[in-house]
Structure 1
């Protein structure tokens, strides 16, 4: 059985308006109730997306480059083990390199 990771303050990085917390602790995931959130997945693909509400998601597997609209060639790369927050109103393109399976919640 995996041990809980250190409960020290997680490193949250914000880039292009997207907040990414790398490998949050099991305690943090339990506190958020991540396992009770709905799941969504998709095969490798590329598609536009606009967030009508703030989304928090936890990637169980996969790898994605997210290109926010208006950021030219800049992107945020997310993958398995990342807890990610996308702001309400963001328009972006998802470039899914490896099949995604994630829990998600809209606020």
Structure 2
């Protein structure tokens, strides 16, 4: 069994309309994962956008299949730091690794890693700081 925790908003159907605070619920779901495999709950995913970079952490396998991610080319890189400019929009799925991406002119970075589906906009110039070797599927549009 896997345990998934999440926060429900006050207007969630499980809460009365007079509730003014969020509640935390623990939901236990059966797990078919093998021992040691990462937990990937199909219904648990978060999508964020920071500094123009969109990240969906742990997208469901159905999303990866729909996009055809596993048929995209692969690219890998050892720990390193380098500048990069996106001549086209890139969507990538990080299989392994850890990277801090800092868009030019920004004072903060975006961290991406294994299990992230990431979209970089066309025209973005940035610096990649790879702290753990990266292996990813990618597609340019």
State the TM bucket, normalised to the shorter chain: over 0.9
Q: How many residues align?
A: 106
Task: Specify the alignment match of 1:104 in structure 2.
Answer: 138
Task: Specify the alignment match of 1:93 in structure 2.
Answer: 127
Residue number among 50, 54, 57 corresponding to 1:15 in the alignment: 50
1:18-48 alpha-carbon deviations (Å, 9 max, x no partner): 0000000111100110000000000000000
Unaligned runs of 5+ in 1: none
Q: CA RMSD in A?
A: 1.8
3-state DSSP class of the match of 2:65?
helix
Residue number among 77, 80, 95 corresponding to 1:42 in the alignment: 77
Task: Specify the alignment match of 1:68 in structure 2.
Answer: 103
In the TM superposition, what is the alpha-carbon distance from 1:6 to its structure 2 partner? 4.5
The separation in 1 between residues aligned to 2:64 and 2:124, in whole angstroms, is 24
The separation in 1 between residues aligned to 2:42 and 2:78, in whole angstroms, is 33
The separation in 2 between residues aligned to 1:6 and 1:105, in whole angstroms, is 25
1:53-95 alpha-carbon deviations (Å, 9 max, x no partner): 00000000000000000102x0000000000000000000000
Task: Specify the alignment match of 1:81 in structure 2.
Answer: 115
Q: Any residues of structure 2 matched to 1:18-33 within 5 Å, and which? A: 18-33=53-68
The structure whose RCO (Cα within 8 Å, separation 6+) is larger is 1
| Higher-Rg member (1/2) | 2
